[in-house]
Homo-oligomer: A and B are copies of this chain.
Amino acid sequence: MSTAVSKTNPGNFFEDFTLGQVLTHATPRTVTEGDRALYGAIYPTRFAVPSSAAFASSVGLNPQPVEDLIAFHVAFGKTVPDISLNAVANLGYAECRFLKPVAPGDTLSTSSEVIGLKQNSNGASGVVYVRSTAVNQHGETVLQWARWVMVHKRDRDAPAPETVLPDLAAVVDPADLVVPRGLSFSNYDLVAAGEPHRWGDYEVGERIDHVDGVTISDAEHMMATRLWQNTAKVHFNTQARPDGHRLVYGGHIISLARALSFNGLANAQLIGAINAGSHVAPAFAGDTVYAWSEVLDKAETPAPGVGAIRLRLVATKDRDETMTLRGEDGKYAPGVLLDLDLWAFIPV
């Protein structure tokens, strides 16, 4: 007769990862119109492409894709049970490229390759670098990204692996952005999209206060996080943390900030890449989240009428009209929750 826990997934510990190892993550997941509706119920998104099949078709996207971040969260969620169930911290993202839009009916599967390992000097944990790839039911890659997490060791006496640090780009080269096939902003309807601001209207260095705020509720962030089949206990179980609070999934803050950014960046319709991202501070129910953006760069693309804009998207607890990222000490200003660096496609 077997004992408790023997059949449940204990997750991987630092010494379970080896360089070059490929992990095929479980439970492929079919995206549906139900996901689109729930995304719109949980986040105040109004971007015209995922909102309107007619608008999407008018810019060459048929079938109508879901929000890019739905694909991101579904693909990312698959990796949690194998990569980060025993993670101390989610340290960073890089080279996240959106390679093909995802539409209802698409089934996503994710695999990850270990591309770097570094044991911490304390001997109790280490940093694992993986490159994850999500494919659809046709085997086409829809999303690829690198991330690194600090993971506990099961056994402090397990030998340290050779340190290998991957070479990751600080920013995705605009030449490597993949514009969705067929996308054209030549006949883009600015009125339907909600704002008149084009690529040429944004200056590098410009900051945009997105003005609106949303107070987080537990039911909403749990529902979103479950949708992505993210299994991390701290998001759902008040007994999993000493403070008795449910920790909001970092991806919830990403989606909230992206949705709030509509007000001022309504035409930044699609995400081309996430260059980097830091979850600076935890968030909890009752916190009111605001967002501001900084234009970091601009680039051209080969697609008709389509420009690329590089944005720093910052989420804060409470509104900071000064839009201060860091204090004089170089540390993140109080209230900063998220510092995300991304490329978006916008009509020129």
Inter-chain CA distance A264–B6, complex, in Å, is 8
Report A291-321 residues with CB < 8 Å from chain B CB: 292, 318-319, 321
Q: Which residues of B contact A34 (CB under 8 A)?
A: 32-38
Asked if A213 is at the interface of the complex by the 8 Å CB criterion, the answer is: yes
Closest B residue to A229 by beta carbon equals B46
Inter-chain CA distance A6–B195, complex, in Å, is 12
Inter-chain CA distance A122–B233, complex, in Å, is 48
Known pairs A32-B34, A54-B137, A220-B223; A321 contacts B209 (CB<8 A):
no
State whether A236 touches B213 (Cβ < 8 A). Answer: yes
Asked if A237 is at the interface of the complex by the 8 Å CB criterion, the answer is: yes
Minimum distance in angstroms from A281 CB to a CB of chain B: 18
Question: Among the interface residues A191, A318, A319, which one has the most CB atoms of the partner chain B within 10 A?
Answer: A191
Interface size grouping (class) on chain A: 35 or more
Inter-chain CA distance A52–B27, complex, in Å, is 7
Inter-chain CA distance A61–B156, complex, in Å, is 46
Instruction: Mark A83-107 against chain B: 1 for CB-CB distance below 8 A, else 0.
Output: 0000000000000000000001101
Asked if A180 is at the interface of the complex by the 8 Å CB criterion, the answer is: no
Q: Which of B1, B37, B231 sits near A206, CB closer than 8 Å?
A: B1
State whether A28 touches B7 (Cβ < 8 A). Answer: no
Minimum distance in angstroms from A58 CB to a CB of chain B: 10
Q: Which of B26, B43, B215, B288 sits near A192, CB closer than 8 Å?
A: B26
Inter-chain CA distance A224–B46, complex, in Å, is 14
Q: Which residues of B contact A120 (CB under 8 A)?
A: none
Report A257-289 residues with CB < 8 Å from chain B CB: 263-266, 286, 288
Known: A2-B203, A28-B52, A231-B263. 19 other contacts (CB 8 A): A2-B207, A4-B208, A5-B211, A26-B195, A27-B194, A28-B192, A32-B37, A33-B34, A37-B38, A44-B229, A46-B231, A53-B105, A55-B107, A213-B236, A214-B236, A217-B222, A218-B219, A237-B288, A239-B319
Pick the 7 closest A-B CB pairs, nearest first: A34-B37, A26-B194, A219-B219, A4-B209, A28-B52, A32-B33, A41-B223
